[in-house]
Structure 1
Amino acid sequence: MFNLMLRFITTLLFSCFCLTTQAITMEAEGRALIFNKDLDSARQAAIKSASQQASLQASAYVSSTQSINQGVLSIDNMQVSSLGMISNIKILDEKIQGRMLWLKIRADVNFEEGCAGGVEGHGYQKSVAITAFPLLYPAQANLGDLSNIQTELGNQLSNLLNQNSNLRALNAGQLSVHETAQTAPSRQLSAGALTTVLDHTRQLDVQYIVSGVIRDVSMHDPATTAVQRNILIDFYNRMDYRSKRHLRTLALDLYVHDGFSGALLFNKQYITAGRWNLSPETRTGFASAAFWQQDYGLQSQKLLQQIGNDLSDKLRCMPFSAKITRSDGQHIWFNAGALSGIKAGDKLTVYRKSSFFTEDMRSHVQLINTRKTLTVTEVQPMFAIGRLAMDGAVYNIQPDDVVMAW
């Protein structure tokens, strides 16, 4: 009976796991030139080439524009949407043919499901700025002196993301990006039209901008913390501390904007409540040790964790992009490097950035795919250099254009 139950539990856990991940075994070949008799380096390069082939063969989508030049196949632009992570690599065969090392591998390609179209950003670390969360009703924060929640919430959220996600979150808690909290994220243009697009997003130099508005931090029953009290009421409140009368709300709206175009990509409202049992005179502030000890602090922490998970899930399915900072002939500099997971040999697609105006004179940013691939040749911590097949001037590549990986 015990063995039967154990088998059932094991099967159930395996089934749940398969809902989010799956793996297939692939065989692929790779080649690499041998330089200065360095066989180990050539083998590593060949394994990397074979691993990429295995991932491509198992990927959900491969789209490329190809051309033949003197019998050599060249890829001008390659767009790969693959969730494949390579593991359990085994070399099945290996040969040296002149200066070329050839090998064949067998590997498991693990897929993580959940993104439409297979977009995964190749595992690069995307940059996010967490801005201020202004209070819609500042007087509600007087209880407990929680007015610092407007800046400290962004700090807590950025720390959470940096610890538990593949996002590089920058704390911009002192920056308020919404002109009016009451109507956020909407704002009125000079011509009278309404828009949810953020202005001046390029100054932050990040891929995504997270902002929000705190709509409510009030008590469910304001009488429990009213100043006009007496001894009997105080005694009753202390004895009745588990009652729902002591619940305090935390409600906020979250907005995620694209850092290049300012477009609103995601918005959601979050609401929680927890018991607030401190006296009206107690001033804990938000995110202090005394604050986290309260049930209200615990529920707030859970809400922040939920927000962090949602941001990780949403932005995980977004493409990786970085701004081009310099163009010189065939070489392109862009502002993402080793800290973002960029490696020599990586390939990214180049997009030209342009602006256009609608009939009502509203400005929009457009990214145009040049269908040209940039191969990374040099990587520094905060930036990288890549090479195009032809002079970048031919494609009119300029600073402020974008490189992107899907």
Structure 2
Amino acid sequence: MMTRRVYRLMAALVAAFAFSAPLLAAPIEAEGVADMEAGSPAAREMAIRDALQQAAISNGAELQSLQLMQSGTLSESSVLSAPALQGKVKILLEYTKNGMYHVRLSIDPQASAAGPVASAPTPTQNANCGMPAGRTLRRKLLTTYFYVVNPSEANDLRNLATALPADLARRLRQQNQFDVRNAGHLTVLSNMAADEPVAGWETVRELGRREDVQFVVAGRVLSTGVVAKSVRHTMFESNNTSQQGAYYTGPLAGMFGQAFKYEPSARQFDLEVWVYDALTGAVLADQRISQVARGKVVAQLPVDFATAAFWDGDYGSVVNALLDQATRQLGDVLSCIPLSAKVVKVEDGRQVFINAGGLDGMKVGDQMLLYKPRSAQIVRSGGGVRELGVPEDLSGTITLTQVQPNFSIAQVQSARLKVEEGDYVRFMTRR
């Protein structure tokens, strides 16, 4: 009886593999279209994205790790944020008809099994985000004040509210994905104790304009409190009751210099981190990380947060690992968002200056999509309270003709709308 069941199970597995393998191996074809009103380069980019979306919808899954193959040459990776299917993308046909740009492509799910085609990404860099080969585009980011909900719990951690964003800025700089500035004295919420992160949208937009950044990071330290205590035997130790502990003072206490100290043995670090889009003020991520440290978790004397003296302790070691985790999560959230820059000057309607240059990874010949934000039409939800963002009109494309360290000059290739200061451009990967 058991043998028969095993045979049936094996037969079912073989049949399932036989039927599923051809489906997985077969290339997926899809076609995308886009209006050419903004010019051919922009329309082509939009048509490719549309084709990838159609492929995902028709196959009931999203795609990831899509490596574009064109004219027999593997260029770079693209992504449609996915957990399931991987493969290489090849452009089969592209043409224009009746004012529309058409792209037909195929996705080979098995081609990715051939192995890596480029150098390995950094640990925090998503390899599937269409970055230009051999270089990194650095987005501008601002870290701000972190409110400490219970300051009495953190009386031994000096400067926690301002040293924390400074330390996050340091860690983010090490990723080489961001040009990070710290403004630990600035807050995004008028009431940091009670307001929800979404309430800071207007302040974030002002910070974005004033500090010239693409993203803003803020947050709250929800707890640094002691969650457990234990008894420790001491000899000739002062009963300094200012520490977060207590001493036994009953019979025989202090005899021959000995005592029993009731002191913290476990302490929590609970952190909430918010990431904002500086253009719209929208919350891109609201993440919470928490862990309990055990051992000697309260220093005898106060120490400055994020210093060597703090990291050396049992509590500091756990906090250090948590902040590494927070930094990785920030990198994961932002790594696939295209670099965005602002038009800061326009000459003769055809030459534009943008606030991104060589230090941000720009190179002569780069193409960027040109957008015009409709700031007067902010999109809201939740009964008109929550800000979701600002709609944009895709206007055309620009090509960089000169790159300085902190800015670039570009020529407008196409624009269906008047190009003005305050317009935005986003990096367009070459496909």
Return the alpha-carbon distance in structure 1 between the equivalents of residues 317 and 405 of structure 2. 37
Return the alpha-carbon distance in structure 1 between the equivalents of residues 259 and 216 of structure 2. 47
Confirm or deny: 8 A CA contact 1:322 1:402 kept in the other structure.
Answer: yes
- From the superposition, tell whether residues 397 and 309 of structure 1 become closer, same or farther in structure 2 (CA, over 3 Å): same
- From the superposition, tell whether residues 181 and 113 of structure 1 become closer, same or farther in structure 2 (CA, over 3 Å): same
Match of 2:280? 261
Return the alpha-carbon distance in structure 1 between the equivalents of residues 377 and 34 of structure 2. 32
Residue 389 in structure 1 maps to residue 429 in structure 2: no
The C-alpha deviation readout for 1:244-295, integer Å capped at 9, x for no partner, is: x511111111101110010111101110121362666412121122111111
- From the superposition, tell whether residues 220 and 252 of structure 1 become closer, same or farther in structure 2 (CA, over 3 Å): same
- From the superposition, tell whether residues 61 and 137 of structure 1 become closer, same or farther in structure 2 (CA, over 3 Å): farther
Return the alpha-carbon distance in structure 2 between the equivalents of residues 62 and 125 of structure 1. 30
The Cα of 1:203 is off from its aligned counterpart by 2.0
Return the alpha-carbon distance in structure 2 between the equivalents of residues 235 and 114 of structure 1. 63
Residue 211 in structure 1 maps to residue 218 in structure 2: yes
The C-alpha deviation readout for 1:333-371, integer Å capped at 9, x for no partner, is: 111111111111111111112222679997886342334
1:170-185 pair list within 5 angstroms: 170-185=181-196
- From the superposition, tell whether residues 278 and 196 of structure 1 become closer, same or farther in structure 2 (CA, over 3 Å): closer
Mean Cα displacement is larger for which, 314-323 or 394-403? 394-403
Residue 307 in structure 1 maps to residue 329 in structure 2: no
The Cα of 1:115 is off from its aligned counterpart by 3.1
Return the alpha-carbon distance in structure 2 between the equivalents of residues 326 and 86 of structure 1. 34
Match of 1:147? 158
The C-alpha deviation readout for 1:162-204, integer Å capped at 9, x for no partner, is: 11241222112121212222224347xxxxxxx4624223223
The counterpart of 2:309, out of the listed 262, 276, 290, is: 290
Mean Cα displacement is larger for which, 358-367 or 153-162? 358-367
Match of 1:163? 174
The C-alpha deviation readout for 1:118-144, integer Å capped at 9, x for no partner, is: 6546542111111111101111111x2
Return the alpha-carbon distance in structure 1 between the equivalents of residues 33 and 359 of structure 2. 28
Match of 2:150? 137
1:304-383 pair list within 5 angstroms: 304-328=323-347, 329-356=349-376, 366-383=390-407
The Cα of 1:374 is off from its aligned counterpart by 0.6
- From the superposition, tell whether residues 78 and 403 of structure 1 become closer, same or farther in structure 2 (CA, over 3 Å): farther
Mean Cα displacement is larger for which, 366-375 or 249-258? 366-375
Return the alpha-carbon distance in structure 1 between the equivalents of residues 172 and 41 of structure 2. 36
Residue 405 in structure 1 maps to residue 409 in structure 2: no
The C-alpha deviation readout for 1:11-54, integer Å capped at 9, x for no partner, is: xxxxxxxxxxxxxxxxxxxxxxxxxxxxxxxxxxxxxxxxxxxx
The Cα of 1:402 is off from its aligned counterpart by 0.6
**One-letter code aligned to 1:372:** G
Return the alpha-carbon distance in structure 1 between the equivalents of residues 43 and 369 of structure 2. 7
Confirm or deny: 8 A CA contact 1:131 1:154 kept in the other structure.
Answer: yes
Return the alpha-carbon distance in structure 2 between the equivalents of residues 287 and 268 of structure 1. 21
Return the alpha-carbon distance in structure 2 between the equivalents of residues 395 and 66 of structure 1. 13
Return the alpha-carbon distance in structure 1 between the equivalents of residues 361 and 33 of structure 2. 23
In angstroms, what is the RMSD of aligned CA positions? 3.8
DSSP 3-state at the match of 1:374: strand
Return the alpha-carbon distance in structure 1 between the equivalents of residues 31 and 150 of structure 2. 49
The Cα of 1:317 is off from its aligned counterpart by 1.7
The counterpart of 2:137, out of the listed 124, 142, 151, is: 124
1:30-41 pair list within 5 angstroms: none
Unaligned runs of 5+ in 1: 1-59, 68-72, 88-103, 188-194
**One-letter code aligned to 1:395:** L
1:45-194 pair list within 5 angstroms: 75=41, 77-79=43-45, 107-109=73-75, 111=77, 115-116=81-82, 119-120=129-130, 122=132, 123-142=136-155, 144=156, 146-186=157-197
- From the superposition, tell whether residues 74 and 141 of structure 1 become closer, same or farther in structure 2 (CA, over 3 Å): closer
Return the alpha-carbon distance in structure 2 between the equivalents of residues 279 and 162 of structure 1. 30
Return the alpha-carbon distance in structure 2 between the equivalents of residues 162 and 255 of structure 1. 18
Match of 2:119? none
**One-letter code aligned to 1:181:** M
**One-letter code aligned to 1:267:** D
DSSP 3-state at the match of 1:140: helix
- From the superposition, tell whether residues 149 and 62 of structure 1 become closer, same or farther in structure 2 (CA, over 3 Å): farther
What is the TM-score of this pair, normalised by structure 1? 0.66
Unaligned runs of 5+ in 2: 1-29, 50-63, 84-127, 232-242
Confirm or deny: 8 A CA contact 2:247 2:260 kept in the other structure.
Answer: no
Confirm or deny: 8 A CA contact 1:77 1:373 kept in the other structure.
Answer: no
DSSP 3-state at the match of 2:376: strand
Percent identical pairs in the alignment equals 24
Return the alpha-carbon distance in structure 2 between the equivalents of residues 297 and 112 of structure 1. 39
Return the alpha-carbon distance in structure 2 between the equivalents of residues 116 and 405 of structure 1. 22
The Cα of 1:83 is off from its aligned counterpart by 6.5
Match of 1:192? none
Confirm or deny: 8 A CA contact 2:338 2:426 kept in the other structure.
Answer: yes
DSSP 3-state at the match of 2:327: helix
DSSP 3-state at the match of 1:301: helix
